[in-house]
Structure 1
Amino acid sequence: MFSHWFFLLAAIAVEIVATAALKSVVSAPWLVAFLPLALIGLSFALLSIALRVIPLAVAYAVWEGLGIVGIAVVGHLLFGEHLTAERIVALAAILAGILLLERGVGDAPVRTAQGRPA
């Protein structure tokens, strides 16, 4: 199961890079604009590997939640976007929600869409 969490974290990292790249390529030639799309595709591929073991609701919540937090930090550091106290509290709430959701993940086997164990 640990390796599947690695794939999920890799999917999150790629999503953060892809989203930051979207902002960077706004005025770039159209061919360069396809790079973020390719990265988003890679992120989904990595997420699909993680979903073989990690429950869908947990994996998607962690993927989106950490992606949101990561993009907020990248936006602040690279693009000078403001992180107000309210936004920081909201990001902390997202992280707290992810931790609470992840604690509910047991060792029960995950089933595929066909009903077979993963």
Structure 2
Amino acid sequence: MNKKMYWLYLFVAIIFEVIGTTAMKWSNGLTNIRGTIVMFVCYGLSFTSLAVALKGIDISIAYAIWSGLGIVCITFIGLFLFHEMMSVKKIVGIAFVIVGVVLLKTN
């Protein structure tokens, strides 16, 4: 498989992870059946895509990027969709995550 395809699988894994985590919030502690189903399906697809990506990307790089970009995306979803508060500490923390992901990708 082409090296770019592994990165595409990683990107798909991140998208499904973010949707799954958002659905986890909507599931209201697994009491909302739609949110719960979406969560489980998306997490399954995320881990499946991540497993394929790991065939061509080092696990230390892939997992850090998967979790780091997931954190950044979920932070913005929490801010705009769920109206969660943003503090200076959160902003600085997210900036560090972004810098870390960039450093890993440019390795």
Q: Same fold by TM (over 0.5)?
A: yes
What residue number does 1:90 align with? Answer: 93
What residue number does 2:49 align with? Answer: 46
Q: Percent identity?
A: 35
What residue number does 2:23 align with? Answer: 21
Give the TM-score normalised by the residue count of structure 1: 0.82
Counterpart CA distance in 2 for 1:65 and 1:75 is 15
Counterpart CA distance in 1 for 2:36 and 2:97 is 30
Unpaired segments ≥5 residues, structure 1: 105-118
Aligned length: 103
Counterpart CA distance in 1 for 2:35 and 2:20 is 12
Unpaired segments ≥5 residues, structure 2: none
Report the 3-state secondary structure (helix = DSSP H, G, I; strand = E; otherwise coil) of the residue aligned with 1:80.
Answer: coil
Equivalent pair of 2:23/2:35 in contact (CA under 8 Å): no
Report the 3-state secondary structure (helix = DSSP H, G, I; strand = E; otherwise coil) of the residue aligned with 1:79.
Answer: coil
List aligned pairs for 1:1-118, cutoff 5 A.
1-26=3-28, 27-29=31-33, 32-104=35-107
Query: Over alpha carbons, which structure has the higher Rg?
Result: 1
Runs of 4+ in 1 over 3 A off after TM superposition: none
Give 1:35 shift: 2.2
Give the TM-score normalised by the residue count of structure 2: 0.90
- Give deviations 1:56-85, integer Å, cap 9, x for gaps: 000000000000011000111100011112
What residue number does 1:116 align with? Answer: none
Higher helix share: 2
